[in-house]
Amino acid sequence: AQSVTQLGSHVSVSEGALVLLRCNYSSSVPPYLFWYVQYPNQGLQLLLKYTSAATLVKGINGFEAEFKKSETSFHLTKPSAHMSDAAEYFCAVSERKTSYDKVIFGPGTSLSVIP
């Protein structure tokens, strides 16, 4: 069964510093992978997704993620944190089996940005 782990339930960075949020997945075959962001009291919105077209994926707001099959990882990065990046970030995985279409989320990482 597929699963997602996110190392670090809470990450704090200084404004302008590198953001690194970790995501590892467990799946029998490389799945589709997603990063979603949730701002306070809102629903989730897509940051970026990996669908096998390219291992380095660029998303909105300057975020990007790299798929590494050997490490079963899909870590999210941003070179320079902004105050507006403070939010909850979720990694998600979806199998490539069209008959199921299940989407499983990790436990999330709360990002704080310190002025």
Helix (H, G, I), strand (E, B) or coil at 39: coil
For another protein, which is the closer residue by CB, 44 or 86?
A: 44
For another protein, which is the closer residue by CB, 55 or 80?
A: 55
Does residue number 92 form part of the binding site for another protein (CB under 8 A)?
Answer: yes
Q: Cβ 106 to another protein, closest distance in Å?
A: 6
Determine contact, residues 19/81, Cβ cutoff 8 Å.
yes
For another protein, which is the closer residue by CB, 79 or 107?
A: 107
Q: Cβ 107 to another protein, closest distance in Å?
A: 4
Amino acid at 42: Q
Tokens, residue 3? 């699963």
Determine contact, residues 104/3, Cβ cutoff 8 Å.
yes
Tokens, residue 106? 């990790």
Q: Enter the DSSP assignment of 53.
A: S
Q: Which stretch binds another protein (CB under 8 A): 55-63, 68-76, 79-87, 93-101?
A: 93-101
List Cβ neighbours of 12 (8 Å cut-off, separation of 6 or more). 111, 112, 113, 114
For another protein, which is the closer residue by CB, 2 or 77?
A: 2
Instruction: Give residues in contact with another protein (CB under 8 A).
Output: 6, 9, 31-32, 34, 36, 42-46, 49, 51, 90, 92, 94-108
